[in-house]
Structure formats: structure tokens, C-alpha cells
Homo-oligomer: A and B are copies of this chain.
Amino acid sequence: MPKSSSSSSSSSSSHLTVVGSAALDTIETPHGRADDALGGSALFMGAAGSLFAPVHIVAIVGDDFPRLEIEFLRARGVDLTGLESVPGKTFRWHGRYYENMNRRDTLSVELGVFEGFNPRLPAAAAQAEILMLANIDPALQTNVLKQTVKPLLVVFDTMNHWITGSRPAIVRLLKNVDMALLNDEELHLLVGGKSTVDNAAKLLEMGPRYAVIKKGEHGAILFTRDQPPFLCPAFPINDPKDPTGAGDSFAGGMLGYLAATNDIGSYNLRRAVVYGTVVASFTVEAFGMKRLETLDADEIEERFRQFRAMVEF
């Protein structure tokens, strides 16, 4: 149920707040290169989530940030009040993908103003029903959570760096999180079990009611405490150009759909995972978030139908 292109944001939707990075990415893949492309978890999640529901972005950029390039977000009704702008350089990442694009090397990282990021939620963002804590220092994630007004769904992401270096903070935070959103490798590093199934069970014992395990081009698995897992393959793309942001747009699409439908029952969670999968499949068709900029509700619905036809038996 993405927003149709003709309707304004539904007032019956829940709101989604995403707290994470805003970045300028230089990306090399076998299919080309993009310089200083819009990137970062908060922007990807915001671009994807706003296709479904009202989104508040909380992130930080430097005074070199090309504000005009995110006008498409404002036009979609994204609240950018929490996008703090400070003197200095925007977070920059430069990566190069291998031939099959499952692997990449990070060539350089310049944290810039992101190094001093201390997220403050504007009032509207603090009241959102769904809070996405994208990958930042778990101490900051914890501070963000304290600023909220009883969200219905708190979602947590992280990365190997924090799992290794800040495990105690993550373990404490997980007790107050409803959903963990990790990739296979992060999950294994965090709990170290026998298999994805075993790892997910252990993760759910640590606090979250739901775990969504991302497997890149191989899809995702949703684990809950009382239902069978939901196995969601990725939507296969004929000519992928750039995987950057696929995982974050998956998250944004999934949570945007949950916000739009106001329903976190297990059946709707499965549909949300599929919508996330569909949005991510568009993301990889162009560099950075170019495809997300033009994507519309009809395209999403059409691909949702195509996906169903690819999994029925």
C-alpha cells in the first residue's frame, strides 16, 4: 500500500523516524561510477519510507551538502527538521565493488561532521510511532531512544565495528528494542550460534520480538517468537548497477509500509518484508538513490504482484 502519486500523506498513517547517517558516496561498480552521490542510512531509509508514509529524518550534514538534491524528499512530505547542518564536511564514503557485487572494498572514509553527531529529535520526530535506529554508536542510539515518546515499534540496526567494540551497550539496548535488523554476518558475530535459525532464536532471547535477517542478493528472513520464520527471496534483477543502499531501502520500505498500514501483526509483517524487498530491488537498478527519486506507488504495486507470481507454488 504505497502512497498513490495523487494522494497527500494519509493522516491515518503512523509516522516513521529514522536516525542515522547522511553521506556523499563515491561508488565504483563494474557498471560505472558515481561521485558524491546522496547516500547514508537515514537518507536511503527516508527516501524509501516516504514512498509509503510520513517520515522524519534525523541526521547531520556539513555546509558542503547539496541541499537542492534532497528537495525530492521534501516534495514527498519528508520532515527534514532533524537534518542538522553544521560547519564542516559531510560524511564521505568511497567504495569499489567486485565483479559480482556481493563484495566491495572501502577505499576511504571521511567521517567529517558525522564524528560529532549527537542526535536531537525535534518534537514531531520524537512522537513518531515507529523509530528506526540505524547504524550509529549504540551509546547515541540509547540517547535517541530516551528522547522518544513511547514509540510502538523500535527497530535497531548496527554493524560489526560496534558489535566488536561496544557489545555491552548493544546488549543493554537490545532489551528495549522490538525489532533487530541485521545481516547474516552481523548476526553471527553478535550471537555465534550454529546457524541462522539458531542465531535468530538466541537474538530473540536478548530482547527483540522480531528479527529481520538480511542476506543481500539472497533475500531476507523474518523471525518472530511464535510463528514460523518467513523466507523472503530477493526480487531478481536483470541488470543491477549498484547495490549501495539496498539494505537501507529495504528497511525504509518495510517500515514505511508498517507505518502506512498501522499494523504489526505477523501477517502484515510478512507483507512489509516483501514491500521492503520490492523497494530494494529498484534501488539496485541505478546508482545511489537515483531510482528511489523517481519511483512511484504504481511501480511498487506492479512489482509486488510480479513477486507474488514468482513465489507461488
Interface residues of A (CB under 8 A from B): 100, 188, 194-198, 201, 215, 218-219, 221, 228-234, 236-240, 267, 270-271, 273-274, 306, 308-313
Contact = CB atoms under 8 A, between A and B. Distances in A.
A236 B230 contact: no
The 5 closest A-B pairs by CB, nearest first: A231-B233, A218-B218, A270-B313, A197-B238, A197-B236
Interface SS, A side: mixed
Given A100-B188, A188-B100, A218-B215, A313 B230 contact: yes
Nearest to A199: B238
A277 to B, nearest CB: 10
A195 B229 CA distance: 28
A274 B238 CA distance: 24
A313 B195 CA distance: 24
A231 B277 CA distance: 13
A64 to B, nearest CB: 35
Contact of A311 (B188, B238, B311): B311
B228 A310 contact: yes
B311 A236 contact: no
Nearest to A237: B195
B229 A236 contact: yes
A213 to B, nearest CB: 10
A85 to B, nearest CB: 39
A241 to B, nearest CB: 10
A236 B221 contact: yes
A313 B196 CA distance: 21
Contacts of A196: 236
A234 to B, nearest CB: 8
Instruction: With a 10 A CB-CB cut-off, give which of A230, A234, A238, A309 has the most chain B CB atoms.
Output: A238
A238 B309 contact: no
A159 to B, nearest CB: 19
B310 A195 contact: no
Contacts of A229: 236, 310
A235 to B, nearest CB: 8
Nearest to A200: B236
Contacts of A236: 195-197, 221, 229, 231
Given A195-B238, A197-B238, A232-B313, 6 more contacts: A194-B240, A201-B238, A219-B233, A231-B310, A233-B233, A271-B313
Contacts of A230: 310-311, 313
A267 B312 CA distance: 9
A295 to B, nearest CB: 20
